Chains A and B, each alone.
Chain A
Amino acid sequence: MTAKLVPLRRISGDITEMSDEALLAACGTGDAPALGALFDRFHVAVYRFAGRLPMTDELARDDLVQATFLEIRRAARSFRGTSSVKTWILGVAANVARHTLRAERRRRVHQARYLEGMTWAPELLDAQVERRKLLAQIAEALAALPRDQQIAFILCDLEQLPGVEVARVLEVPEGTLWRRLHTARKAMRAAIEQATR
């Protein structure tokens, strides 16, 4: 088994001054420092997206982030500038999540059991218990959504990315996105109504 040394050659110009688009273009030519710089700029956003996506463990999140940046390296040349680089990158993350996390669905039972714990907080009796219960209901409702609806809700409502761009990067018609979003919101709303009843 052999390992390859990470090439550390520099791209021309000051990397910190390059625009997101320029970095992505450099990345498309296989420039490793550009990929590193993209990681530095956007990995927190990708982690946050992954962190909001219901998953069973932290390692799955690391894997998702890693697979996302590898796919960015692979697909950088396909960026057409019809959305911001951030939206595009989160779209890549969403697509990776949709394709690689199908096995997660098989873990639904486990997940439901895990989330069950969040609704149990009798020992945490303090002023925040009600709020915690509410958040637990929300988390459970989010976890129960189909993956496409989760992604629509996280990208549009939590990350607050423009819906039109999100539809583009997910390659779905706008109407489809709004319908997914509506269904997701309805479920979330029902969850808090149930919790406050």
Chain B
Amino acid sequence: MTCPSEPELARALTLGADPPIAAHLAACRACRETWDGTKRAIDLARELPAAIPPHGRREEVRTAVLAAAASMAGRPARRVWLAPAIAGAAAAGVIAYLAIPRGSSPPPVTAPAHHAHGTVHPHPGARYLATASGPDEVVRLTDGAIDVEVEPLSPGERFRVVVGGAEIEVRGTAFTVIASDEHLLGVTVARGRVDVRPVIGAPAVLGAGQSWHATLAAVVAPSSPPLSSPSSLPSSSPSVSVAPASPPHRAAVFVPAPPPVPAPRARHAAVLASPHPAEQVTPGEASPTSASPQAKPAGDTTRTPEELSYDQAWEALRANNFARAASGFSRVLLLAPDSPLVEDASFWHAVALARGKRSAEALSAFRDFLDTYARSARAGEANAMLGWILIDARAYDEAARRFRAAVGDASAAVRTSAQAGLDALGKRTP
């Protein structure tokens, strides 16, 4: 009895055993065991997780692919595999991916861009990107001003300009949209009709000659999220952000300490003024009631936009609205990168990401914070929190390094947590 060769057996496992091999398997115990063992290994390997990223991230990659493909348009298609071509494609992809998604702004565009149903005339410095195809067309404006002309649409077709969470829906018209840092500042309609759906306030329908403006408060200080209950609020007494008793396979429980209260300063409304003053619609041009600004009153005008954003982010953090908190703290960094608030905002940004279970982002945010503010009073706290996240990520060497950096912290709770982390890592080694 001759056993089949290894490639023969491999082939049979894939394609199904032919009669001679099947007969052999029935008679040969060794081959049978090999066959069964291999099948078991394959079955187990199929159980290995192949994590598919969330829809939003896949959409970002899709957009980046289409943007990079557009830049390839006109070049002849390659028919052979060449490392430089692949490397070029990968590089273009990476550049586009880094440039477009994950919160970074698309680069400025100046030439008119023709859409299936219209034309976008960007003003100098405008940042925008078309991000959807098919009957639902979307132009995503990040910064600056664009004039848009849209042909009349057929039933079922849509054309929208999206700015952050706000959107302007078009019905066949010409209009101008102004944005700053993904916040809608204003819309002016030259002809036709436009639906404005701001993040804050009621939607408005604008006709020809009408305008919509956001107030500073609407741009900077979105309405506070509801607090779930008073008992859900953490103590206002100083506390630390680590849980010494956390087992090594769990994220550290975090109790946010109160933020420093920034001193009121002169209002810097210019920060959010239109990047294109010439295009700013004056109040005198405001439309009738139906089209007037729906945003709330500006409120405390003695505070700077970054201070308002910081406070809002902090409220969101206390309300366990981690996504909003992370976004708010990150906005502080964008609004005023030189502000004294930035150090704290960076720290709390990382904390909000960690509490929102966005571990990869939190990891990076804590590392950035520690790289930038190595001497921060919160460095120990950040190192301890980062250590626990690294344990979750099974990056034990760095976790140990981070804990060691925190064991000498002034706070006893931080020291205890760091020591607990080191102990947990010690137990890991037999």
Residues of A within 8 A of B (CB): 1-10, 15, 28, 30, 32-33, 35-36, 39-40, 43-44, 47-49, 51-52, 57-58, 61-63, 65-67, 69-71, 73-78, 95-96, 99-100, 113-114, 116-118, 120, 122-124, 134-135, 138-139, 142, 153, 156-158, 163, 175, 178-179, 181-182, 185-186, 188-189, 191-193
Contacts and interface: CB of A to CB of B under 8 A. Distances in A.
A116 B302 CA distance: 55
Contact of A48 (B41, B52, B137): B52
A11 B395 CA distance: 48
Which 7 pairs of residues, A with B, have the shortest CB-CB distance?
Answer: A117-B394, A51-B50, A5-B113, A182-B10, A66-B93, A188-B41, A178-B7
For the complex, would chain B's binding face be called helix, strand, loop or mixed by DSSP majority?
Answer: helix
B116 A43 contact: no
B65 A138 contact: no
A8 B47 contact: no
A193 B37 CA distance: 8
B73 A96 contact: no
Contacts of B47: 135
Nearest to B138: A8
B51 A51 contact: yes
B53 A39 contact: no
Contacts of A116: 394, 396
A6 B133 contact: yes
A189 B10 CA distance: 13
Contacts of B85: 71, 74
B89 A67 contact: yes
B412 to A, nearest CB: 25
Given A39-B62, A66-B90, A188-B44, 8 more contacts: A6-B63, A6-B70, A6-B133, A71-B89, A74-B72, A116-B396, A157-B14, A185-B42
Contacts of A32: 66, 69-70, 73, 133
Contacts of A4: 67, 70-71, 109, 113
B41 A117 contact: no
B133 A52 contact: no
Contacts of A39: 62, 65-66
15 contacts: A8-B132, A32-B66, A47-B50, A51-B52, A62-B53, A67-B86, A71-B89, A117-B394, A123-B248, A142-B48, A158-B45, A163-B11, A175-B7, A182-B10, A191-B41
A1 B110 CA distance: 10
B6 interface: yes
Interface of B: 6-11, 13-15, 34, 37-38, 40-42, 44-53, 57-58, 61-74, 77-81, 83, 85-87, 89-90, 92-94, 96-97, 99, 106-111, 113-116, 120, 127, 129-134, 137, 247-249, 360, 394-397, 427-428
Contacts of B15: 163
A156 B15 CA distance: 10
B83 A75 contact: no
Contacts of B40: 189, 192
Given A43-B58, A43-B62, A76-B77, A70 B120 contact: no
Contacts of B44: 134-135, 138, 188, 192
A84 to B, nearest CB: 16
Nearest to A1: B107
A195 B115 CA distance: 59
B93 A70 contact: yes
Given A4-B67, A74-B78, A99-B86, A113 B130 contact: no
Contacts of B80: 78
A96 B87 CA distance: 9
A91 B69 CA distance: 20
Contacts of B115: 5, 8
B48 A52 contact: yes
Contact of B130 (A8, A48, A120): A8
Given A96-B86, A178-B11, A2 B110 contact: yes
Given A5-B129, A6-B129, A189-B38, A179 B6 contact: yes
A138 to B, nearest CB: 5
Contacts of A193: 37
A4 B70 CA distance: 7
Contact of B134 (A33, A52, A181): A33
B86 A66 contact: no
A33 B134 CA distance: 8
A177 to B, nearest CB: 9
Contacts of A78: 77, 79-80
A65 B64 CA distance: 11
B68 A70 contact: yes
Given A47-B52, A66-B61, A135-B44, A99 B69 contact: no
Given A3-B106, A67-B86, A179-B6, A185 B397 contact: no
B67 A192 contact: no
A2 B111 contact: yes
A158 B54 CA distance: 22
Given A10-B116, A120-B428, A156 B14 contact: yes
Contacts of A62: 53, 57, 61, 97
